[in-house]
A and B are shown apart, each in its own frame.
Chain A
Amino acid sequence: MDEQISVQSVTGVDLTLNLAGPGTRSYAFVIDWHIRLLLGCAWLLLASYAMKLSLNARSPDALLSLLPAAVLYFLYHPILEVVMHGKTPGKRIAGIRIATRSGGTPSTASLLIRNLFRLIDSLPALYAIGLISCFVTANRVRIGDMAAGTLLVQDDSAAGKTLLRLDALSGSRLPLDTLELVDQILERWPTLALDNKRRIAGSLLARVEPGSDAAGLADLSEADLHARLLALLTAHAPTTDG
């Protein structure tokens, strides 16, 4: 289960941050590692085959062939974290971001310090010190984070998109919790297996539409079930709860 910390805000309402654990952190790192490795290799292939440059480290070509690949590989994290305000493609996919201990966006200096300490975190191999540090520290941070004053937190910006669908409330007859359930199912719709779609949607529709025939619902196609669920969000009727 994810751990949470509360951060005081100037408004007096605490900010809740969900800490990313060693698993999520490693997941993001592995994605980033593959990306930078692919980028580096792609450049080497381009230099070698398209630009006909030598890959010998002692040839004058090395500045154009090996150096850019090395820069892509070794400076990937510091550059992207600064440019993307504490994110990298891997972190974005893993749904995490770097934040200061007060929940803010880290400064460039903090991000650079965080990356300097990768030298220590990666010792003796496979980020062993960094991983051990993540397991034993209260906020699940590696040494670089301690030096920079940063945390790795869940970036649940997708949850904010729920607010975009709240307009449906004004036109629906369903209670808020049921509407949120419908909203959640629709959000997960593309990832659900067909059997689960039938079972979940059928059960929900049978509950909110008392007159509906369970056998008839079971015969509905995937597209029809989706349309019926969507209709729940927009159906006009007098409100039933306060």
Chain B
Amino acid sequence: MRAWIIARAGTWRGLLESIATLRLGRRATMEQALGVVESYRGLARDLATARRLAPNSRTTAGLESLYAQLHALISRKPRGGTAGLRDLLRVDIPQAARELRSRIAGMALLMAASAAAGWWMISTFPTLIGLFAGEAMIARVEQGHLWTEGILNITPSSVMSVGILANNIVVSVLAFCAGIFFGLGTFYLVALNGMMLGAVFAFVHQHGLAAALFNFIIAHGPVELSVICVAGASGVALGESIIRPTLATRRDSFQACAHRFAPLLLLCAALLVGCGLIEGFVSPDPGFPLASRVVIGVSYWTVMMILMSGGLFRRPTPDISHSMGT
């Protein structure tokens, strides 16, 4: 045993040094990296020997540690860089969006139904608006003004944008993650958002301000509401993966689902940054006429659809007829 350890000690020391260098990444040479990969099998053999001959020794513990470090280093995935981002936009996001198509439609329907319910509720029982809006907001609308009027005099657009986009991203991420509660958390969040929208519209309609509110939200609203539906659809899929697992275990199914739809959520977050900027700079600014707001809203929504379909980054299909000589 002693002679064997003495004979192998140099190799292990060399490996430790190589691992330390490779962890830093850029200073390592190709030969060093290949050498470490080659020595992985040899180290496994040494560890098996040490486990058999001296199971509770510090040398074996040291080899266990070295083996774990080498295993982690070898199995480390390379950083994707721009190619990874391109694949994300070209393959992963469109694939996830296609898979979620029916659920997105379902979420849009739920939101529309909740909005209708909210509208009916406030039209029938106006005093219930206190459930959806703060006192200051209610008082301002009752005075004949939208709460968004003159907001730029209080808060600069840039600051407002950051606050809005952070809030929207948290809501979308929550709509996705709340799917863990068998999808019920997601249903609740989407329905609540829809109901709030309908209720507030009904309330401002009673005071003759519905057109002004529409004017305010048309530039950022289409993408913002669509993003909530997309995040909600991902959350529902997450819940479904636990209720009806498609892999060996519920955990595997949940994990696979989270990985499949997370790229879509990344796109949603990026789109919400744009929404925040529009809501901070365009929506509250009375200088923008309705027509330009509609153009911004529809254009941005079209960009979202193109990104979700992968159309912008699609590879040109190779012409098979030419290569086959027909």
Question: Are A and B physically bound partners?
Answer: yes
Residues of A within 8 A of B (CB): 9, 11-13, 15-17, 57-60, 62-63, 67, 70, 85, 99-100, 102-105, 107-110, 112-113, 116-117, 119-120, 143, 146-149, 156-164, 166-167, 169-170, 176-177, 180, 183-184, 239, 241-242
Q: How far is the CB of B179 from chain A (nearest CB, A)?
A: 9
Contact indicator A104/B65 (Cβ below 8 Å): no
Instruction: Using CB atoms, name the residue of chain A closest to B156.
Output: A60
Q: When the two chains form their complex, are residues B76 and A85 in contact, meaning their CB atoms are under 8 A apart?
A: yes
**Residue in A12, A149, A163, A239 with the greatest tally of chain B CB atoms within 10 Å:** A163
Contact with A along B228-256 (1 / 0, CB 8 A): 00000000000000000000000100110
- Since A63-B159, A112-B266, A159-B64 are in contact, a sample of 7 more A-B pairs with Cβ atoms closer than 8 Å, ordered by chain A residue number, is A9-B71, A58-B156, A103-B68, A103-B72, A104-B71, A105-B75, A147-B254
List 12 contacting pairs A-B, 8 Å CB cutoff, sorted by A.
A12-B44, A13-B47, A59-B156, A60-B156, A104-B71, A105-B77, A109-B259, A143-B180, A162-B61, A166-B5, A166-B13, A167-B13
Q: Say yes or no: A120 contacts B76, CB within 8 Å.
A: no
Contact A104 B76, beta carbon cutoff 8 Å: yes
User: B262 to nearest A CB, angstroms?
Assistant: 5
- Which of B64, B77, B170, B177 neighbours the largest number of chain A CB atoms within 10 Å of its CB? B177
B12 neighbours in A (Cβ, 8 Å)? 163, 166
With a CB–CB cut-off of 8 A, which chain A residues contact B62? Answer: 159-163
Task: Decide if B58 touches A242 in the complex (CB within 8 Å).
Answer: no
* Min distance, Cβ B174 to any Cβ of chain A, angstroms: 6
Are A241 and B2 closer than 8 Å at their CB atoms? yes
Contacts of B73 in A (CB 8 A): 105
A-side contacts of B75, CB under 8 Å = 100, 102-105
Does chain A have a CB within 8 A of B162?
yes
Interface: B86 (CB within 8 A) = no
* Number of residue pairs A-B, CB distance < 8 angstroms: 159
B159 touching A59, Cβ below 8 Å: yes
Shortest CB-to-CB span from A136 to chain B, Å, is 13
Contact B59 A157 (CB under 8 A): no
Give bound CA distance, A103 to B177, whole Å: 25
Chain A residues with CB below 8 A from B174, complex form: 119
B63 within 8 A of A: yes
For A159, give the chain B residue with the smallest CB separation: B65
B66 within 8 A of A: yes
* Distance A59 CA – B162 CA, assembled complex (angstroms): 12
- CA gap between A9 and B68 in the complex, in Å: 10
Interface residues of B (CB under 8 A from A): 1-3, 5-6, 9-10, 12-13, 16, 23, 40-41, 44-45, 47-48, 54, 57-59, 61-69, 71-77, 79-80, 154-156, 158-159, 162-163, 166, 170, 173-174, 176-178, 180, 251, 254-255, 258-259, 262-263, 265-266
Q: Are A157 and B65 interface neighbours, CB within 8 A? A: yes
- Bound state CA distance, A163 and B158, in angstroms? 56
Question: Cβ of A180: which chain B residues have Cβ within 8 Å of it?
Answer: 57-59
A109 and B159 in contact, given A15-B68, A166-B5, A176-B1 (Cβ under 8 angstroms): no
Residues of A within 8 A of B158 (CB): 60, 63
Asked whether, in the complex, the Cβ of A11 is within 8 Å of the Cβ of B254, the reply is: no
Q: Which residues of chain B come closer than 8 Å to A17, judged between CB atoms? A: 68
Q: Which residues of A contact B180 (CB under 8 A)?
A: 117, 120, 143, 147
Chain B residue at smallest Cβ distance from A99: B72
Q: Could you say which of B57, B61, B159 has the most chain A C-beta atoms within 10 Å of its C-beta?
A: B159
Contact between A184 and B173, CB atoms less than 8 A apart: no
Minimum distance in angstroms from B281 CB to a CB of chain A: 14
Please measure, in the bound complex, the distance between the C-alpha atom of A183 and the C-alpha atom of B5, giving whole angstroms.
15
CB within 8 Å for A58 and B45 given contacts A112-B262, A166-B59: no
A159, B61: Cβ atoms under 8 Å? yes
Question: B67 near A15 (CB under 8 angstroms)?
Answer: yes
A180 and B45 CA atoms in complex are apart in Å by: 22
Q: How far is the CA of A163 from the CA of B63 in the complex (A)?
A: 8
Q: Which residues of B contact A157 (CB under 8 A)?
A: 65, 69
Find out whether the CB atom of B58 lies under 8 angstroms from the CB atom of A162: yes
- Which B residues touch A177, using CB under 8 A? 57
A163 near B59: Cβ-Cβ < 8 Å = yes
